[in-house]
Copies of this chain bind each other. A is one copy, B any other.
Amino acid sequence: MTQILSSPILRLDQSWAYKVTVLADLLARRVTAIVQEASGLNLSQWRVLAAIGDQPGRTASEVVKITPMDKGIVSRGVTSLAQKELITRRASETDGRLSHLYLTETGEAIYQAIVEKLHRAGLIDVGLLTEGETESLLELLQQAIQASRERDEPRL
């Protein structure tokens, strides 16, 4: 059925954007707690660690691209992780501006331990949804992300 009223209505409990927001916040709180307890890292430090663990050799700006983080935050994350000796920077030989990032042995251990805990907490796989549901959720989310990225500067 189509909209009857002339002005659009915001029904929070029917807004996908709102639900995504609420869910993301719940997830962030749980991940933060787990990461904090397991390693003392904060959420953005963990995100940087995870992005590197996910694909070693990434540069800071690549981390920014795949992550919902400001480059300032990533920069600070990289610095502090390097100080804690969880990652190392290796300057690129072909481009003096960037360095590739790798987990140290300690970093790898912490990374694995946290992944394990997140896994058990159902924050990686989805124990709650069936395999098919998960798949379609992933697809829908990806579409929404893409669309949101494309729309990003439509000068409203």
Contact = CB atoms under 8 A, between A and B. Distances in A.
Interface in A14-39: 14-17, 19-28, 30-31, 34, 37
Among A124, A134, A144, chain B packs the most CB atoms within 10 A around the CB of A144
Contact of A24 (B21, B112, B128, B152): B21
A138 B53 CA distance: 31
Interface residues of A, number: 65
Nearest to A54: B12
Interface in A31-70: 31, 34, 37, 50-51, 53-54, 66-68
A120 interface: yes
A103 to B, nearest CB: 12
A156 B34 contact: yes
Contact of A50 (B12, B68, B142, B148): B12
Nearest to A120: B156
